[in-house]
Amino acid sequence: MNTIEVIDLDREHASLPSEARDRAVDALENGKVLFLPRYGFPVADAERGLLSPTVVNKSKNVSYDPGTRVLGGTELSGANAGLLRDMIARFADFAQDLLLELFSSYAGGLIRARTSFRPVEVEGRVSSWRKDDSRLHVDSFPSSPTGGKRILRVFSNVNPEGRSRVWRVGEPFEQMAARFLPSISRPLPGSGALLAFLGITKSPRTEYDHLMLHLHDRMKADDRYQNEVKQIEQEFPPGCTWLTFSDQVSHAAMRGQYQFEQTFLLPVAQMRDERRSPLRILERLTGRKLT
């Protein structure tokens, strides 16, 4: 399975020739994971003490809202909380700068969403099957419908102990969708607007969002699929960065600790070829407009 595209870029010479940027865009939109083995996020000496699972409360990660600069999920307060916030905010800028270097055509449409720092070991963490990210899935947000916008995520491993973040990457989106779509019923008329009216979702849930949520759940709930579908295992060592459209790429986090993650949303019209988006693929498979 050719699902990993290596991009040879380092932070000291952070530019690529136009042919390499074209290759990166095509790989990303075709459902690959872009792996930058020499492009790492630098943690300052003063921040090293923050690389500890004790910085989180009962959550699995520390979240950062770029609009309000508010931290969530941390036990820290005062100066230490400020140091943690500034480190995560710096990663958010790092991730955006990288995307603008690789995908200048996305610049007018990128929407920066939440940033997170994940200092807790993935392996062995107990959760329900629906929240278990060690099971193959595509991303969809239950309370924050995207209305078809792409979910683009940037990750960096800063593990101080030399341990890799390990993923599984599964089959192409269209194959997965064709497998599970027949088992998903259409939403009840008006249900998406009702969810927003009741405050359950932040905006009306479209039929696209409905299908994506059910695809996420069908994948995770199917043990046979998890075990038998064609997939690869990929290691991301400390000092590297990787990114992907996580609404399109079937992925599972198996092992690892101390990861940064930045989420962006991108309108499909901003893509080089929106026919490759989950929205257009699902519209083609269902034969109807979904937003």
pTM of the model as a whole: 0.95
Q: How far apart are CA 183 and CA 229, in angstroms?
A: 18
Q: What is the mean pLDDT of the chain?
A: 95
How big is the CA angle at 157 (ends 44 and 80), to the nearest 5 degrees?
40
* Cβ-based burial of 197 (10 A; exposed 0-12, middle 13-18, buried ≥19): exposed
Mean pLDDT of 148-156: 98
Share of the chain above pLDDT 70, in %: 99
What span, in angstroms and rounded, lies between the C-alpha atoms of 102 and 89?
20
Lateral strand order in the sheet of 33-36: 4-6, 33-36, 241-245, 150-157, 259-266, 111-118, 62-65, 70-72
Question: Around Cβ 12, how many Cβ atoms within 10 Å?
Answer: 7
266: closest CA among 32, 39, 105, 66? 105
Task: Give the DSSP H or E segment for 97.
Answer: helix 78-102
Q: What is the pLDDT of residues 252-281, one digit of tens each?
A: 999 999 999 999 999 999 999 999 999 999
Q: What are phi and psi of 85, to 5 degrees?
A: -60, -45
Q: Which domains does the chain have, with CATH numbers?
A: 4-286 (2.60.120)
pLDDT band at 7 (very low <50, low <70, confident <90, very high): very high
Q: Above pLDDT 90, what percent of the chain? A: 89
Rounded to 5°, angle at Cα 12 from 9 and 17: 45
Handedness of CA 268, 272, 273, 278 (dihedral sign): negative
Tell me whether strands 33-36 and 4-6 are parallel, antiparallel or unpaired: parallel
Residue 58: pLDDT band with limits 50, 70, 90: confident
In three-state secondary structure terms, 172 is coil
pLDDT of residue 115: 97
Q: Residue 75 has what pLDDT? A: 86
Give the C-alpha separation, 180 to 176, whole Å: 7
Cβ count near 163 (within 10 Å): 16
